[in-house]
Amino acid sequence: PTIHDQKLHRGAGGELHQLAEDGMPVLTTAQGGPVSDDQNTLRLGARGPALLEDFHFREKIFHFDHERIPERVVHARGYGAHGYFETYESLAAYTRADLFQRPGEKTPAFVRFSTVAGSKGSFDLARDVRGFAVKLYTQQGNWDLVGNNIPVFFIQDAIKFPDVIHSVKPEPDKEFPQAQSAHDNFWDFITLTPESMHMIMWVMSDRAIPRSFRFMDGFGVHTFRFVNAADESTFVKFHWKPKLGLQSVTWNEAVKINGADPDFHRRDLWQSIQSGAFPEWELCVQLFDQDFADAFDFDILDPTKIIPEEILPVKPIGRLVLDRMPENFFAETEQVAFMTQNVPPGIDFSNDPLLQGRNFSYLDTQLKRLGGPNFTHLPINAPKCPFHNFQQDGHMAMRNPVGRVNYQPNSWNQGPRESPVQGYRHCPAEEQGSKVRLRPESFADHYSQARQFYISQTPPEQRHIAAALIFELSKVETPVIRERMVSHLMNIDETLASKVGHALGFKSMPKPADAAMPTRQDLEPSPPLSIIER
Ligand code: HEM
């Protein structure tokens, strides 16, 4: 029989599908060839050797062998959803970003929530920071606000990122512990890095064990800039506030939930969206100028600091609604590529040295993880506005220039052109200075905001912080590391320090830590100690 004799079914796009004997579509190879037998390899006789010419078998196994891509080097375990962002009012006075011009404007969005330290298969309720990465498909290209559920970070300079992440990930010889901060390497790094003290107080708080993604904040962390049509800039901090409010679990609950249902958070997001209870966040901003920034003792470029909302209240500017789960986890949630450098005209960077480093890291890592330069050809990463450029070729190129012209300027009057008016213009900030590797003095206070955070907590929340510190530090085997942490706590809150020291069995309290970054000499006892202790 020829194809014309087969049972055929016309698909939604008008295409003809061959139907198998039972009326279902015929199974095909990736090349579209119909398959007759998917249960048995081609063999020489029923009990004989398999034949190399079995192209269906080879293609099927080859494809299976290549199913895995590298998991993200951080934030490997994540869960995403689609939705939209709705603008409340025009912000034209502050930014020329198209998505903020018209009240009621809806911008498609994709959000991926994640833990940071654990591998892709780790459990949801680890004590950890949560990623809150938002991709907004604006009419001027994608804007990625790649944030966390904690408003500050461990380090002030991106050059320290491999160190902080190596220290929190499983130790290289043991390959454990998995997805927890409770180990010597992590606390060793943290206690040798006083700038992490503010963040560590948040990580020891209930914020690090959220009840679900629906009950947590998101923060852009860094100071960014809004830039208006006149190229005037305003500093901006971004906050996502959950409509349901903040909720966490206790550590006792977290441990039980992890044992009973390691997928607790992803199940919660799936079930709420499938049942029509769409989670919602308000995007709020803190807007300020250089004079306001200069009035603080700390630096607004320092990502270990917040601007207290009591001093500068947040202004709601829109809402994010998540109303649709991906059809395919891998195609969307796993392959989505967030990059801090994705900003539309009207949004710009500050000189925060962590942000500046991130702007290199994300493009670099996507190139490796997604296997080449064409990851924007994947539907989840492609802009939803018209786009035109002369990029071509490379692995898996799905789009190439059409016609003769793949460069400009050209004499054929073809192809896209740059536009000084509509195109991205960097904020013309005046900069000058010598080339140095130097942390400014304005980045030096590591304890004041850690203390303010602790004091701002209710008594039960303060008890949870103390319990978390006692639990975590009791897992630390090297005494000097425990002592070092308590000596930092002395600078944050003496009562907290003595509670923790007491529970750890200290006979006397250590001196408050020296606030300065430790020098080589200070570190001298460390290498021999770590060898002896093990
Ligand atoms: C991934 C947030 C600092 C490098 C992520 C993700 C989030 C995030 C939310 C997961 C994105 C997703 O869901 O796909 C943050 C925040 C930071 C920070 C809020 C500090 C404020 C850094 C720094 C670096 C870095 C300093 C490097 C210098 C990476 C890399 C990934 C990642 C390489 C993996 C990306 C991927 O494979 O898709 N980060 N991060 N991050 N981050 Fe960061």
Task: Write the DSSP string, 399-413.
Answer: ----SS--SSS-TT-
pLDDT at 190 exceeding the cut of 50: yes
Tokens read off for 102: 């018209």
How far apart are the CA of 460 and the centre of ligand 1, in A?
A: 32
Share of the chain above pLDDT 90, in %: 90
447 is annotated as contributing to ligand binding: no
The average pLDDT across 236-240 equals 98
pLDDT band at 268 (very low <50, low <70, confident <90, very high): very high
pLDDT at 337 exceeding the cut of 50: yes
Query: What is the atom index within ligand 1 of the atom nearest the CA of 73?
Result: 34
pLDDT at 531 exceeding the cut of 60: no
Amino acid letter, residue 338: F
Q: What pLDDT is attached to residue 245?
A: 98
User: Which residues participate in catalysis according to the annotation?
Assistant: 75, 148
Separation of alpha carbons 164 and 186, rounded Å: 8
The average pLDDT across 362-384 equals 97
Helices (H), 376-478: 448-456, 459-474
The average pLDDT across 520-532 equals 45
pTM for this predicted structure: 0.94
362 is annotated as contributing to ligand binding: yes
Q: What pLDDT is attached to residue 49?
A: 96
pLDDT at 233 exceeding the cut of 80: yes
**Mutation test residue for ligand 1: of 69, 71, 72, the one with most atoms within 8 Å of CB:** 72
Query: What is the atom index within ligand 1 of the atom nearest the CA of 159?
Result: 28
Tokens read off for 10: 């016309």
Q: Is 210 helix (H, G, I), strand (E, B) or coil?
A: strand
Which residues' Cβ are closer than 6 Å to ligand 1? Answer: 72-75, 78, 112, 114, 131, 133, 146-148, 153, 158, 161, 221, 303, 336-338, 354, 357-358, 361-362, 365, 369
pLDDT band at 526 (very low <50, low <70, confident <90, very high): very low
Please say whether the beta carbons of 86 and 325 come within 8 A: no
What residue's CA is closest to ligand 1, atom 5?
75
Phi then psi for 322, rounded to 5 degrees? -105, 115
How far apart are the CA of 116 and the centre of ligand 1, in A?
A: 9
Separation of alpha carbons 199 and 217, rounded Å: 15
Q: Which residues contact 346 (CB under 8 A, 6 or more apart)?
A: 95, 96, 97, 98, 100, 140, 226, 227, 228
Query: For the segment 167-176, what is each residue's pLDDT rounded down to a tens digit?
Result: 999 999 999 9
The average pLDDT across 98-107 equals 98
pLDDT band at 33 (very low <50, low <70, confident <90, very high): very high
Query: For the segment 53-88, what is each residue's pLDDT rounded down to a tens digit?
Result: 999 999 999 999 999 999 999 999 999 999 999 999
12 or 211, which is more confident: 211
Please say whether the beta carbons of 251 and 127 come within 8 A: yes
369 is annotated as contributing to ligand binding: yes
Helix (H) or strand (E) holding 200: helix 197-203
Separation of alpha carbons 22 and 198, rounded Å: 64
CA angle 275, 241, 279 (to 5 degrees): 5
Q: Which residues contact 181 (CB under 8 A, 6 or more apart)?
A: 117, 127, 128, 168, 187, 203, 472
How far apart are the CA of 404 and the centre of ligand 1, in A?
A: 40
Sequence length of the chain is: 534
What is the CB neighbour count within 10 angstroms for residue 411? Answer: 6
Separation of alpha carbons 153 and 166, rounded Å: 16
Helix (H) or strand (E) holding 148: strand 141-148
What residue's CA is closest to ligand 1, atom 16?
147
Query: What is the atom index within ligand 1 of the atom nearest the CA of 219?
Result: 19
Q: What pLDDT is attached to residue 518?
A: 52
Q: What pLDDT is attached to residue 13?
A: 82
pLDDT at 525 exceeding the cut of 80: no
What residue's CA is closest to ligand 1, atom 20?
153
Query: For the segment 287-318, what is each residue's pLDDT rounded down to a tens digit?
Result: 999 999 999 999 999 999 999 999 999 999 99
Please say whether the beta carbons of 10 and 3 come within 8 A: no
The most confident of the ranges 13-17, 178-182, 344-348 is 344-348
Least trusted range by pLDDT, from 40-44, 225-229, 237-241, 427-431: 427-431
How far apart are the CA of 82 and the centre of ligand 1, in A?
A: 20
The average pLDDT across 103-111 equals 98
pLDDT band at 7 (very low <50, low <70, confident <90, very high): confident
pLDDT at 385 exceeding the cut of 50: yes
Mean pLDDT of the chain: 94
Tokens read off for 484: 């070092």
How far apart are the CA of 338 and the centre of ligand 1, in A?
A: 8
Tokens read off for 150: 């904690």
Tokens read off for 48: 């004989």
Separation of alpha carbons 295 and 83, rounded Å: 39
pLDDT band at 534 (very low <50, low <70, confident <90, very high): very low
CA 411 to each of CA 53, 240, 405, 407, 485: distance values in angstroms, whole numbers, following the listed order: 52, 49, 9, 10, 67
pLDDT at 104 exceeding the cut of 70: yes
Separation of alpha carbons 457 and 451, rounded Å: 10
The average pLDDT across 405-419 equals 94
The average pLDDT across 313-337 equals 98
What residue's CA is closest to ligand 1, atom 19?
147
β-partners of residue 234 are: 226
The bridge status of strand 78-87 relative to strand 106-115 is antiparallel
Residue 225: exposure state from Cβ atoms within 10 A (0-12, 13-18, ≥19) = buried
Q: Is 282 helix (H, G, I), strand (E, B) or coil?
A: strand
Amino acid letter, residue 510: P
Phi then psi for 302, rounded to 5 degrees? -90, 115
**Mutation test residue for ligand 1: of 112, 130, 155, 362, the one with most atoms within 8 Å of CB:** 362
516 or 241, which is more confident: 241
The alpha carbons of the chain give a radius of gyration, in whole angstroms, of 27
Token match 């603080």: residue? Answer: 296
Nearest to 239 by CA among 217, 223, 224: 217
What residue's CA is closest to ligand 1, atom 13?
112
How far apart are the CA of 64 and the centre of ligand 1, in A?
A: 29
* Distance linking the first and last C-alpha atoms of the chain: 74
Query: For the segment 152-189, what is each residue's pLDDT rounded down to a tens digit?
Result: 999 999 999 999 999 999 999 999 988 666 789 999 99
Q: What pLDDT is attached to residue 9?
A: 78
Share of the chain above pLDDT 70, in %: 95
Tokens read off for 271: 């079930």
How far apart are the CA of 486 and the centre of ligand 1, in A?
A: 29
Separation of alpha carbons 295 and 307, rounded Å: 12
Task: Give me the numbers of helices (H) and strands (E) for the chain, helices first please.
Answer: 14, 12
What residue's CA is closest to ligand 1, atom 9?
131
Residue 99: exposure state from Cβ atoms within 10 A (0-12, 13-18, ≥19) = buried
What residue's CA is closest to ligand 1, atom 36?
72
358 is annotated as contributing to ligand binding: yes
Please say whether the beta carbons of 133 and 104 come within 8 A: no
pLDDT band at 6 (very low <50, low <70, confident <90, very high): low
Please say whether the beta carbons of 307 and 236 come within 8 A: no
How far apart are the CA of 339 and the centre of ligand 1, in A?
A: 8
pLDDT at 397 exceeding the cut of 50: yes
Please say whether the beta carbons of 135 and 144 come within 8 A: yes
The average pLDDT across 128-153 equals 98
The most confident of the ranges 17-21, 176-180, 508-512 is 508-512
pLDDT at 136 exceeding the cut of 60: yes
Nearest to 390 by CA among 362, 415, 363: 415
Helices (H), 156-217: 161-168, 184-191, 197-203
pLDDT band at 8 (very low <50, low <70, confident <90, very high): confident
What residue's CA is closest to ligand 1, atom 26?
158
